[in-house]
């Protein structure tokens, strides 16, 4: 039986279980020194002066820099999209002229010991002249600098006859909705360890994640080096979720210091720093309107929103706002649409992507809108969704929209079928009856739903190199990365199934720029689709080469051969003459007769997979909640995630992605928020203030993984599985809480805090 | 900075080290004993990643000074498996049940649950949940950790998994 599709155990686990992992803080080099960052303590201020001399006087301190010392290094760039003109808003590696958020790097200390560096950082004198802090992205923009305001761009997308649709509508439903600021917050904080190998003239950066090749190219460019003289390495990564592995000021600072000071430089972020310095996400306010006909069918949607980007534009540019505009419509047929996304800066930590970026937000907004349409039209909430679904017969379904620079073409999907399956599995009808009975007895209980379309498999290209060595061991070198989600196991399974070996014989090499020239890393649910497809192709090509070679060795026609468990043998006489893949590899070693017929020796192939469009998985979230009328607590009593991933390479890993993603979505729906006081001081700077779900908050969770709509866009039919668990949690919980309150549409913001619930209950009683 | 020469007994091995008196036990284990399996997730005692056993009791290694650990028997994640070939039953059950993804919180989960299983060889799911209610995991959603613990408990009691 093929290992593709089997819930086999992970290859990653043994070192992680034994405490033998290699996370960033675990990496040490001889003669290393430690970096500490001095951070701004005001949200917005003129930077009058920075005096590092008191720090330099402390024994053990080697160097201390402020902006003037790094003036030649350009600001951190962003990955290109269609949006232009964002360059002036990028972040310098140390603050210049103004500080724009609490936590912004102002100076850096380098010392023999991490504790000494921290002591020295306290001695740096930073003189600030406080300016008014801008904290509301929906408020009027103010000055960014002498010539620019705090709205770098407006993301606009539209199609169809919007004005006519609103003019002719039976009803117009308008909502004002907001999503709170929260983020990935992985358990491992960031870290960066740079060393300059003068003997080889190579700069190395360790502790990296997610986007090694792009980061390598940019570090090289910003520091004036050839990319081939800079290499990034990935060890273990303690969670990514979008925020980890982007290029941050600290990455450039350790690299610059390693070059200047000629010693390895180590920086490990502490948790307080993480909560104010690593990318935030999600904060968005939508003023959305829908034009609807008498049957509850959507005629048009007008989506005006305000994206709170925080103080600077980081490596994603305007991508989250772009996706919030381009992917809002989800599974529904919408004849006319207009998005106006005000992409605005505030005096908070810069923002970027977090698991299901733009879609967690968009699903909350769209599904709140669907509930409101149902209420206005007097329709059942499930029925209004069914009436508006894009039908399976319409697939592939091209929307006249783009997102991330590619046209939005829904590749496959049967949304109505998954909704039916999910409702049946959840026992929706029985729960409706049960909820009615409990309400009659005085309880505040409710049901909610969210239906969504995810996206995955962002192209354009991914390649792998797959090699069998003389012992029969397989090495798969990929430009993908791992953030702890099981990439090695999934790619090994695909490789093993295509080639015909035990997946445990496949070693996956990832996250290293010195082993493969190009790569796209791990993000946007792309690895299994893109790198997985390249791996599948490589495995098939390697199998063909092995059979071709074995045919010569065994004097047998190629098409009479099969490869099972690393042995090439005859299909008709499996017990007869055979050769192992190791023997085939030896027969193709340099100088052998057979190798001379080929461009390169060895049992090795390189394969590239290209894709112009994304693959769109889709899902249904269903929730049952009960409200505590005394405390305002929301108790999630039962939850179901139904998700169609096309094909599951390893169902156990897919379910793991969904369960973990759900927990993060639950945090954003009910608990997690980066809060600020009126002067922009962050209030969520410890894990006692920034509340992530513990096991005590986890409800009974049911997961339904379906494979009804394999993607036609790749040879293995897969769609990404990483983000569907998170996508509609805010939507479904909000729907259920609102239902428990009587379905009045009171829930318009995330997270839903106990004080909000108490207010809603009081409003309802009034 | 004043320093002190101390002896730590970690996983049955003696470590004679000289540490600044302000160094945490976690930093001493990682930097002075070379045992980097104990992870620091918050350094303020909330996340539980740095949990070790001190004389058999779970303790946050980030909230304890190295000098306080002198003469106490410390067990870290590196001390759980019997040898290089075998895993501890709890470690094996974590692998069987996909109870880890990135693996960063895993050492603290394991030490916390080893303590639970020593005290209570037949815990209920609810008791497992209480035991790890002070350990944050950002990847798994926790449920597979509960399943793994119940499986390990059965194996350790000599019942077939």
Which candidate in A6, A7, A11, A13 is best for mutational testing of the B interface (most B CBs within 10 A)?
A: A13
Beta bridge partners of A751: none
Q: Report the C-alpha gap between A112 and A34 in whole angstroms.
A: 6
pLDDT (tens digit per residue) in A542-579: 999 999 999 999 999 999 999 999 999 999 999 999 99
- Tell me the residues of chain B between 6 and 35 that have a Cβ less than 8 Å away from chain A: 20, 22-23, 30, 35
Determine phi and psi for A282, rounding to 5 degrees: 80, -25
Burial A349-379 (b: 16+ CB within 10 A, else e): bbbbbbbbbbbbbbbbbbbbbbbbbbbbbeb
Residue B1 confidence class, pLDDT cut points 50, 70, 90: low
In degrees and rounded to multiples of 5, residue A506 shows phi and psi of -100, 120
ipTM for the complex shown: 0.98
Q: Are B10 and B36 in contact (CB under 8 A)?
A: no
The answer to whether A706 and A618 are in contact (CB under 8 A) is no
Q: Mean pLDDT across the stretch A403-413?
A: 93
Are A461 and A610 in contact, with CB atoms under 8 Å apart?
yes
pLDDT over 70, % of chain B: 98
What does the alpha-carbon distance between residue A588 and residue A507 come to, in Å, rounded to a whole number? 20
Contacts of B93 (CB under 8 A, 6+ apart): B99, B148, B149, B151, B152, B155, B161
Are A13 and B95 an interchain contact pair (Cβ–Cβ within 8 Å)?
yes
B140–A656: do the CB atoms touch at under 8 Å?
A: yes
Look at residue A1 in the predicted model and tell me its pLDDT: 75
Cα gap A145→A747, rounded to integer Å: 37
Question: Domain A406-456+615-766 belongs to what topology?
Answer: Aldehyde Oxidoreductase; domain 4 (3.30.365)
Neighbours of A735 (CB within 10 A): 28
CB contact under 8 A, B49 and A660: no
pLDDT at B86: 97
CB atoms A485 and B134 under 8 Å: no
Q: Collect all residues of chain A within an 8 Å Cβ-Cβ radius of residue B40.
A: 25
Q: Is B87 near chain A, with CB under 8 Å?
A: yes
| A652 interface with B at CB cutoff 8 Å | yes
Residues 658-697 of A with CB under 8 A from B: 659-660, 662-664, 686-688, 692, 694-696
pLDDT level of residue A55 (50, 70, 90 thresholds) = very high
pLDDT tens for each residue of A218-266: 999 999 999 999 999 999 999 999 999 999 999 999 999 999 999 999 9
Q: Using the predicted structure, report yes or no on whether residue A459 has a pLDDT greater than 90.
A: no
Tokens coding A330:
């989800």
Q: Which of A17, A694, A701 sits opposite B87 (nearest CB)?
A: A17
Q: Provide CB contacts within 8 A for A518, sequence distance 6+.
A: A213, A461, A463, A479
For A266-299, give the DSSP string.
EEE--HHHHHHHS-BB--EEEEEEEEE-TTS-EE
Do residues B154 and B97 make contact, with C-beta atoms less than 8 angstroms apart? no
CA torsion sign, A192 to A193 to A196 to A202? negative
- Across the interface, which of B41, B100, B107 has its CB nearest the CB of A19? B107
Residue ranges of the domains in chain B?
3-79, 89-156
| B91 interface with A at CB cutoff 8 Å | yes
- What's the CATH fold of domain B89-156? DNA polymerase; domain 1 (1.10.150)
The rounded distance, in Å, linking the Cα atoms of A144 and A309 is 13
In chain B, residues with a C-beta closer than 8 Å to the C-beta of A655 are 98
Minimum CA–CA partner of B132 in chain A? A695
Q: Which residues contact A709 (CB under 8 A, 6 or more apart)?
A: A392, A395, A412, A413, A414, A618, A644, A646
Q: What is the pLDDT of residue B161?
A: 54
Using the beta-carbon criterion (under 8 Å), do A485 and B102 form an inter-chain contact?
yes
CA distance A621 to chain B (A): 16
SS (H, E, C) A529-575: HHHHHHHHHHHHHHHHHHHHHHHHHHCCCHHHEEEECCEEEECCCCC
- Sheet of A634-644: strand order equals A444-453, A618-627, A634-644, A701-706
Chain B contact probe: residue of A8, A695, A696, A722 with most B CBs at under 10 A: A695
Statement: residue A41 has pLDDT above 60:
yes
Query: Minimal Cα–Cα distance from B109 to chain A, Å?
Result: 10
Which of A18, A29, A116, A648 to mutate against chain B (most B CBs within 10 Å)?
A18
Q: b or e along B110-140 (b: 16 or more beta carbons within 10 Å of the residue's beta carbon)?
A: bbbbbbbbeeeeebeeebbbebbebbbbbbb
Please give the span between the terminal C-alpha atoms of chain A, in angstroms, as a whole number: 64
Residue A318 Cα distances to A156, A306, A321, B12, B101, angstroms: 12, 12, 6, 54, 30
**CA pair distance A208, A190, nearest whole angstrom:** 9
Are A236 and B103 within 8 A, CB to CB? Answer: yes
Edge-first strand order for the sheet with A749-750 is A153-159, A336-344, A298-308, A284-292, A171-179, A749-750
pLDDT digits (tens, 9 = 90+) for A524-539: 899 999 999 999 999 9
User: Do A435 and A445 touch, CB atoms closer than 8 A?
Assistant: yes
CB contact under 8 Å between B94 and A17, yes or no, is yes
For residue B124, the distance in angstroms to the closest alpha carbon of chain A comes to 15
B38 interface with A at CB cutoff 8 Å? yes
In chain B, what residues touch A26 (CB-CB under 8 Å)?
A: 30, 36
Of the candidates A18, A238, A688, the beta carbon closest to that of B102 is on: A238
Q: Do B95 and A187 touch (CB under 8 A)?
A: no
Three-class DSSP category at A49: strand
Residues 367-396 of A with CB under 8 A from B: none
Q: How far apart are CA A42 and CA A680, in angstroms?
A: 7
Q: Which residues of B touch A663 (CB under 8 A)?
A: 138, 140-142
> How many beta-carbon pairs under 8 angstroms link A with B?
166
pLDDT score at A397? 98
A106 token code pair: 């102002």
By the 8 A CB rule, do A86 and A80 touch?
no
Task: Give the 3-state secondary structure of residue A467.
Answer: strand
Q: Spell out a b/e string for A170-202, using b for 16 or more CB atoms within 10 Å of the CB, else e.
A: eebbebebbbbbbbbbbbbbbbbbbbbeeeeee
Measured between CB atoms, does A185 come within 8 Å of chain B?
Answer: yes
- Gap between the Cα atoms of A726 and A663, Å rounded: 7
* pLDDT tens for each residue of A90-111: 999 999 999 999 999 999 999 9
Q: Which one, of A152, A254, A135, lies nearest residue A205 by Cα?
A: A254
Which residues in chain A are closer than 8 Å to B116, comparing Cβ atoms?
none
A187/B49 CB distance under 8 A: yes
Domain A27-131+188-277 is of which CATH architecture?
Alpha-Beta Complex (3.90)
Domain ranges of chain A: 27-131+188-277, 149-179+279-390, 406-456+615-766, 458-610
Interface subset of B 102-161, CB within 8 angstroms of A: 102-107, 110, 129, 132-146
Which residues of A are less than 8 Å from B29 in CB distance? none
Q: Mark which residues 699-758 of A lie under 8 Å from B by CB.
A: 701
Nearest CA in chain B to A119: B1
The fold of B3-79 is Ubiquitin-like (UB roll) (3.10.20)
Chain A CA closest to residue B106: A17
Residue of A533, A464, A550, A606 lying closest to A563 (CA atoms) = A550
Minimum distance, in Å, between the CA of residue B9 and any CA atom of chain A = 18
Contact B136 A25 (CB under 8 A): no
H helix intervals, A378-482 = 381-388, 415-426, 428-440
Shortest Cα distance from B71 to chain A (angstroms)?
23
CB within 8 Å: B94 and A695: no
Q: What's the pLDDT at A386?
A: 98
Residue matched to tokens 């079928």: A417
C-alpha dist (Å) from residue A537 to A26, A614, A645: 36, 19, 20
Q: Classify domain A458-610 by CATH architecture.
A: 2-Layer Sandwich (3.30)
Reported as a single tens digit per residue, the pLDDT across A148-182 is: 999 999 999 999 999 999 999 999 999 999 999 99
The CB-side HSE value for A383 (13 A sphere, CA atoms) comes to 9
Edge-to-edge strand order for the sheet containing A567-570?
A561-564, A567-570, A578-580
Residues of chain A in contact with residue B102, where contact means CB-CB under 8 angstroms, are 16, 186-188, 236-239, 483-485
CATH fold label, A149-179+279-390: Aldehyde Oxidoreductase; domain 4 (3.30.365)
How far, in Å, CA of A250 to CA of A191, rounded? 9
pLDDT band at A404 (very low <50, low <70, confident <90, very high): confident
Q: For residue range A500-516, list pLDDT tens digits in order.
A: 999 999 999 999 999 99
Cβ atoms of A6 and A654 within 8 Å: the answer is: no
- Residue from the list A21, A656, A686 with its beta carbon closest to the beta carbon of B98: A656
For residue A757, is it left (φ>0), alpha (ψ between -120 and 50) or beta? alpha
> For residue A233, what are its two tokens?
């390495």
Record the tokens describing residue A606, joined without a space. 């390189």
Q: Give the global pTM.
A: 0.98
Cα separation, A700 vs A131, in Å, equals 48
In the 8-state DSSP scheme, what is residue A718?
-
Nearest to A276 by CA among A239, A250, A315: A250
In this complex, the residue of A239, A655, A688 whose CB is nearest that of residue B138 is A239
Q: Which residue of B has its CA nearest to A186?
A: B138
Q: Across all residues in chain A, what is the average pLDDT?
A: 97
Q: What is the per-residue DSSP string for A639-650?
A: EEEEEE-SS-S-
Q: Test B78 with A19 for CB contact under 8 angstroms.
A: yes
Q: Give the pLDDT mean for B92-97.
A: 98
CA–CA distance, A214 with A480 (Å, rounded to integer): 12
Cβ of A660 within 8 Å of Cβ of B105? The answer is no
């Amino acid at each position: 039986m093929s290992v593709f599709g089997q819930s086999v155990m992970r290859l990653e686990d043994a070192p992680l279980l034994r405490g033998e992992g290699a996370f960033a803080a675990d990496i040490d080099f001889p003669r290393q020194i430690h970096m500490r960052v001095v951070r701004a303590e005001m949200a917005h201020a003129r930077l009058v002066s920075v005096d590092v001399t008191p720090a330099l006087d402390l024994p053990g301190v080697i160097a201390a820099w402020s902006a003037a010392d790094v003036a030649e290094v350009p600001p951190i760039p962003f990955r290109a999209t269609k949006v232009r003109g964002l360059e002036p808003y990028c972040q310098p590696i140390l603050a210049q002229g103004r500080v724009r958020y609490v936590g912004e790097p102002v100076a850096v200390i380098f010392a023999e010991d991490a504790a000494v560096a921290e002591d020295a950082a306290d001695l740096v004198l930073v003189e600030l002249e406080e300016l008014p802090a801008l904290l509301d992205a929906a408020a009027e923009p103010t000055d960014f600098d002498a010539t620019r305001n705090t709205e770098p761009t407006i993301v606009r997308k539209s199609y169809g006859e919007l004005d006519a649709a609103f003019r002719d509508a039976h009803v117009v439903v308008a909502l004002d909705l907001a999503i709170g600021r929260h983020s990935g917050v992985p358990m491992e904080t960031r870290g960066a360890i740079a060393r300059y190998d003068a003997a080889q003239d190579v700069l190395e950066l360790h502790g990296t994640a997610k986007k090694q090749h792009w980061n390598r190219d940019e570090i090289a460019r910003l520091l004036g080096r050839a990319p081939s003289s800079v290499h990034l390495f990935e060890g273990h990564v303690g969670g990514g979720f979008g925020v980890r592995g982007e290029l941050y000021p600290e990455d450039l600072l350790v690299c610059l210091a390693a070059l200047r000071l000629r010693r390895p430089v180590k920086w490990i972020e502490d948790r307080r720093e993480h909560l104010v310095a690593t990318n935030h996400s999600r904060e968005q306010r939508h003023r959305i309107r829908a034009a609807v006909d008498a049957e509850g069918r959507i005629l048009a949607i007008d989506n005006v929103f305000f994206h709170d980007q925080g103080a600077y534009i980081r490596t994603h540019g305007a991508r989250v706002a772009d996706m919030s505009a381009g992917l809002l419509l989800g599974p529904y047929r919408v004849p006319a649409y207009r998005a106006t996304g005000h992409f605005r800066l505030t005096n908070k930590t810069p923002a970027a992507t977090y698991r299901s970026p733009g879609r967690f937000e968009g699903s909350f907004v769209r599904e709140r809108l669907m509930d409101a349409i149902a209420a206005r039209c007097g329709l059942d909430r499930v029925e209004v969704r069914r009436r508006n679904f894009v039908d399976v017969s319409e697939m592939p379904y091209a929307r006249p929209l783009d997102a991330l620079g590619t046209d939005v073409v829904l590749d496959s999907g049967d949304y109505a079928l998954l909704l039916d399956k999910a409702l049946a599995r959840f026992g929706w009808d029985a729960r409706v009856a049960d909820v009615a009975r409990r309400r009659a007895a005085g309880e505040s209980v409710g049901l909610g739903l969210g239906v969504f379309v995810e996206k995955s498999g962002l192209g354009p290209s991914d390649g792998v190199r797959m090699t069998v060595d003389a012992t029969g061991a397989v090495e798969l070198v990929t430009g993908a990365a791992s953030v702890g989600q099981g990439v090695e196991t999934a790619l090994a399974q695909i490789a093993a199934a295509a080639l015909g070996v035990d997946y445990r014989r496949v070693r996956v090499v990832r996250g290293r720029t010195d082993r493969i020239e190009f790569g796209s890393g791990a993000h946007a649910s792309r690895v299994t689709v893109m790198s997985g497809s390249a791996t599948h192709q490589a495995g098939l090509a390697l199998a063909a080469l092995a059979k071709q070679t074995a045919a010569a060795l065994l004097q047998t026609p190629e098409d009479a051969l099969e490869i099972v468990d690393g042995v090439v043998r005859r299909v008709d006489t499996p017990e007869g003459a055979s050769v192992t893949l190791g023997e085939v590899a030896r027969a193709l070693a340099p100088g052998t007769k057979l190798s001379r017929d080929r461009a390169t020796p060895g049992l090795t192939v390189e394969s590239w997979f290209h894709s112009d469009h994304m693959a769109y998985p889709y899902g249904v979230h269903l929730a049952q909640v009960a409200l505590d009328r005394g405390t305002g607590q929301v108790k999630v009593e039962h939850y179901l995630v139904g998700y169609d991933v096309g094909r599951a390479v390893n169902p156990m890993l897919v379910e793991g992605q969904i369960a973990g993603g759900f927990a993060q979505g639950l945090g954003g729906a009910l608990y997690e928020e980066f809060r600020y006081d009126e002067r922009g001081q962050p209030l969520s700077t410890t894990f006692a203030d920034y509340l992530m779900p513990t096991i005590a908050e986890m409800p009974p969770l049911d997961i339904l993984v379906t494979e009804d709509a394999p993607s036609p866009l790749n040879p293995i039919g897969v769609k990404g599985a990483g983000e569907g668990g998170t996508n509609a949690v805010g939507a479904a919980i909000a729907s259920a809480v609102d239902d428990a309150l009587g379905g009045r549409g009171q829930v318009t913001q995330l997270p839903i805090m106990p004080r909000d619930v108490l207010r809603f209950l009081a409003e309802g009683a009034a | 900075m004043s320093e002190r020469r101390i002896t730590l007994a970690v996983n049955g091995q003696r470590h004679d080290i000289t540490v600044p008196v302000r160094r945490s036990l976690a930093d001493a284990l990682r930097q002075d004993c070379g045992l980097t399996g104990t992870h620091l997730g918050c350094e303020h005692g909330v996340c539980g990643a740095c949990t070790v056993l001190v004389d058999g009791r779970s303790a946050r290694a980030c909230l304890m000074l190295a000098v306080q650990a002198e003469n106490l028997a410390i067990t870290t994640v590196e001390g759980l498996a019997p040898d290089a070939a075998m895993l501890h039953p709890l470690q094996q059950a974590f692998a069987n049940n996909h109870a880890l993804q990135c693996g960063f919180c895993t050492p603290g989960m394991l030490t916390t649950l080893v303590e639970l299983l020593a005290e209570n060889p037949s815990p209920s799911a609810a008791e497992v949940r209480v035991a790890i209610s002070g350990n944050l995991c950002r990847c798994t959603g926790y449920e597979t950790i509960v399943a793994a613990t119940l499986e390990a408990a059965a194996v350790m009691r000599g019942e077939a998994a």
